[in-house]
Amino acid sequence: MRRRDFIAGGATALTNLLSPLAGRAQSGYPTKQIHLVVPTSAGGVHDVIGRIWADRVKSALGTIIIENRAGGGSSIGLNYVAQQPADGHLLLVGSTSTLVLREGGNNRAYDALKDIRSATIVATTSTSIAVHPSLPIHSVKELIAYAKANPGKLSYGSGGVGAPHHLYAELFKSMTGIQLTHVPYKGSVPALTDVLSGQIPLMIVDLTPALQLIQEGKIRAFGCSNFDARQLAEAQDSARINGLPAYQVLQPEYNLADRASYEGPLRDLAMQQGLGVITYYSLASGFLTGKYRTEADLGQSVRGGGVRKYLNPRGLRILGALDQVAQRHGTQPAVVALAWLIGRPGVTAPIASATSVEQLRTFSAAAELALSDSDRQQLEQASAPEAA
């Protein structure tokens, strides 16, 4: 089969875009109508993110047609995309966990390593536990106590068997030792509708489509992913006090071009508590490879829209410093950018998407590259947040 790129739209993590390998953007792309498949029901987080992304890239790629193909925990949409011609004009939005979890399923008609490729990350989102307001539950601690006092009486909804939120809930069950009965739906929106009406008592919900309902008091939400330093510290303290497993790994957005959100209290807390730090967006959607330097370069791939924000004086200074350091070491800018990350205090490892064996070998060279103090100083001066 042909390989496709994945845009991923992310439930608790990253939102990715997928589409065909053979359809890597060439000069003059697109040459026909682009379709974006959403493998979940209308109104869900992937649908919302997909429509926002399509609107924002309309000036560069033209109007994009949205197709909702929900069901099977996203497998229906994924299977459909994998069977279509790999010409770069059919994309799919879904979370990174959607692709990974479906790769382990039995109802797939594709090979995730050969047929589908992540094209870019377009958003990050958070999840929370949502309950019907009639329940006497206002916190994770109260949920655990209620479930243990009423074993087998609580059920939860999800977007389907094997869908990310199904797995999140099962992980929560295994960590806390409570009993919850799974009720699968054809998408997260129908499940949320039944939580609103009281047909089911709870579910793990994406905050993007549920925020207004929470603010209006129609559902009650507690717990959250994607913590800042204060929230993470509170979560760690709560886990310790209640005898629950604590977080062991942090996954922040961190790279030479995006330093401010991690450096500071969040980094200090991670190092203090010995958390593993696995960075994402490690190459800033490909910007730190040096591939995108002008507005004209943005049309080279579907990632272009997410890179535009770096095309400013600071971004160009960063590329200039990467070029100079790379030239001194006889390597590529991407290798230097990853080597800088690997050497940062508290960082365990960076995440970087490789779309070929050759690219994987190139990225692997970062682990062997020894940057000098002057190399690091040059990179850090060029990328200092205050220099923006």
> Domains in the chain and their CATH numbers?
4-125 (3.40.190.150), 128-222 (3.40.190.10), 229-387 (3.20.20.100)
Peptide bond into 265 cis (omega under 30): no
- Encoded tokens for 91: 């994309």
φ, ψ for residue 355 (rounded to 5)? -105, 5
CA distance 138 to 134: 11
Residue 387: how many CB atoms within 10 A of its CB? 12
Residue 148: how many CB atoms within 10 A of its CB? 12
CA atoms within 13 A on the CB side of 207: 15
β-pair partners for 350:
279
Residue 217 φ/ψ region, left for φ over 0, alpha for ψ in the -120 to 50 degree band, beta for the rest: left
State residue 363's pLDDT score. 87
For 125, 181, 224, 228, 285, the CA distances from 208, given in Å and listed in that order, are 7, 25, 12, 17, 22
How would you classify the pairing of strands 220-222 and 127-131? antiparallel
Query: Distance between the two ends of the chain, CA-based, in angstroms?
Result: 45
pLDDT along the chain (388 residues), means of 10: 38 45 56 90 85 87 91 80 84 72 53 68 81 93 93 92 86 90 90 95 88 92 79 85 82 93 94 92 92 84 74 96 97 96 93 81 91 97 76
State residue 171's pLDDT score. 87
State residue 98's pLDDT score. 59
State residue 20's pLDDT score. 45
The predicted model scores a pTM of 0.64
> Three-state SS string across 91-143, please?
EEEEEHHHHHHHHCCCCCCCCCCCCEEEEEEEEECCEEEEECCCCCCCCHHHH
- No. of helices (H) and no. of strands (E), the chain: 15, 14
Residue 373 φ/ψ region, left for φ over 0, alpha for ψ in the -120 to 50 degree band, beta for the rest: alpha
Tokens 């190459």 identify what position?
A: 283
- E strands in the chain: 4-8, 14-19, 34-38, 64-68, 90-95, 116-124, 127-131, 155-158, 181-184, 202-206, 220-222, 249-250, 276-279, 349-350
Residue 276: how many CB atoms within 10 A of its CB? 14
Comparing CA positions, the residue from 247, 347, 201, 234 lying closest to residue 12 is 247
CB within 8 Å of 12: residues ≥ 6 apart: 95, 97, 125, 126, 127, 164, 168, 225, 226
State residue 18's pLDDT score. 53
